[in-house]
């Protein structure tokens, strides 16, 4: 039996003020100049403290939607709202993005790489130093501040990239397949660390909302409070699955509910890809 998904409404969501909504895509479409119809009528609401994974086949517009939430792309039709505002700057939300590659400055130390957003914001050194150290501690790299990227493994470089995002103390963290190029063991460890960071922030009274793009079904189930399934040609939302399991640990990965979520999503992903399950 398939898990109880929230049906995607036939009518567009009402763009009404909501104190708990940090991101809203309302009837969003994207067509590029070459005619590629990347997104069609996407309606997605991200609440304060959500961990939403976008899952779907290649070409379904997951990264395009993420870039819109970051303010790096604009819809062709429809609109994006950030805490009710029409631009990120007007919303007062602090948003950070982690890309598929760590994109570190090879000539700079780990501390300098993490401090970059604070330097760009002209935060005084007396304030930025403790924040950089706190961000490095949160990703387990407190002892590597004077190291250079070339001296770190791929997983450690990605931790630096995450610390660079966290140093701004964001309300919203956007992540575009950040662990996709890593080996499975490193990926599992970083998934566990990211989930713990998110839970810690939400337990501290400073909720962190995460939108996470992935191609991994098991990763989406392990991390998310919701998994949004998308289909391609054109990119659109087809289902929204709450993952209502409060504890995420190795026992959860081996549990029957975890297997059931993964099987359900596998069936739906095949359908979203235009293939049939037998």
pLDDT at 4: 59
At residue 6, the pLDDT reads 57
In a domain, residue 21? The reply is no
Number of domains the chain contains: 2
- Residues 178 and 221 reside in one and the same domain: yes
Give yes or no: residues 265 and 135 share one domain: no
- Residue of 111, 261, 196 lying closest to 210 (CA atoms): 196
CATH number at residue 231: 3.40.50.300
Angle formed by the axes of helices 184-203 and 154-166, nearest 10°? 20
165 touches 104 (CB < 8 A): no
Asked which of 169, 188, 209 is the last residue of a domain, the reply is: 169
Q: Domain end: 121, 147, 169, which one?
A: 169
Which structural domain, as residue segments, surrounds residue 76? 49-94+172-273
Q: What pLDDT shows up at residue 39?
A: 94
Q: Are 220 and 119 members of one domain?
A: no
Are 259 and 130 in the same domain? no
Asked if residue 258 and residue 192 are part of one domain, the reply reads yes
232 and 256 in one domain?
yes
Residues 143 and 66 in one domain: no
Q: Is residue 29 domain-resident?
A: no
Tokens of 19: 């104190």
Is residue 149 domain-resident?
yes
Predicted local confidence at residue 275, as pLDDT? 53
Q: Please identify, among 121, 153, 169, the residue that sits at the C-terminal boundary of a domain.
A: 169
Q: Give me the tens of pLDDT residue by residue for the chain, a chain 278 residues long.
A: 556 555 454 444 545 557 789 999 999 999 999 988 999 999 999 999 999 999 988 889 999 999 999 999 999 999 999 998 998 889 989 999 999 999 999 999 999 999 999 999 999 988 999 999 999 999 999 999 999 999 999 999 999 999 999 999 999 999 999 998 899 999 999 999 999 999 999 988 889 999 999 999 999 999 999 999 999 888 999 889 999 888 899 999 999 999 999 999 998 888 777 754 44
Is residue 150 within 8 A of residue 123, CB to CB? The reply is no
| pLDDT for position 277 | 41
pLDDT, position 5: 55
The predicted structure's pLDDT at residue 218: 95
Whether residue 130 is contained in a domain is answered as: yes
- 267 shares a domain with 183: yes
In a domain, residue 28? The reply is no
């Amino acid at each position: 039996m398939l898990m109880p998904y929230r049906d995607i409404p036939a009518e567009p969501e009402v763009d009404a003020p909501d104190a708990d909504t940090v991101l809203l895509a309302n009837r969003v479409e994207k067509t590029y100049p070459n005619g590629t119809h990347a997104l069609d009528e996407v309606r997605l609401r991200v609440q304060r403290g959500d961990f939403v994974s976008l899952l779907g086949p290649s070409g379904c517009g997951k990264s395009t939607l993420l870039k819109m939430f970051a303010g790096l792309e604009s819809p062709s039709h429809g609109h994006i709202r950030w805490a009710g505002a029409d631009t990120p700057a007007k919303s007062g939300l602090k948003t950070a993005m982690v890309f598929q590659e760590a994109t570190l400055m090879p000539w700079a130390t780990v501390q300098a790489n993490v401090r970059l957003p604070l330097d760009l914001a002209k935060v005084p050194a007396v304030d930025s130093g403790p924040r950089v150290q706190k961000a490095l501690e949160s990703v387990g790299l407190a002892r590597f501040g004077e190291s250079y990227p070339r001296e770190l493994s791929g997983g450690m470089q990605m931790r630096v990239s995450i610390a660079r995002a966290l140093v701004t103390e964001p309300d919203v963290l956007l992540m575009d397949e950040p662990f996709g190029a890593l080996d499975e063991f490193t990926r599992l460890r970083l998934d566990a660390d990211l989930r713990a960071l998110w839970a810690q922030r939400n337990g501290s009274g400073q909720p962190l909302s995460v939108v996470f793009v992935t191609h991994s079904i098991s990763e989406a189930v392990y991390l998310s409070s919701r998994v949004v399934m998308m289909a391609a040609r054109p990119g659109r939302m087809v289902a929204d699955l709450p993952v209502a399991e409060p504890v995420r640990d190795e026992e959860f990965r081996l549990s029957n509910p975890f297997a059931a979520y993964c099987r359900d999503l596998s069936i739906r992903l095949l359908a979203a890809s235009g293939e049939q399950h037998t």
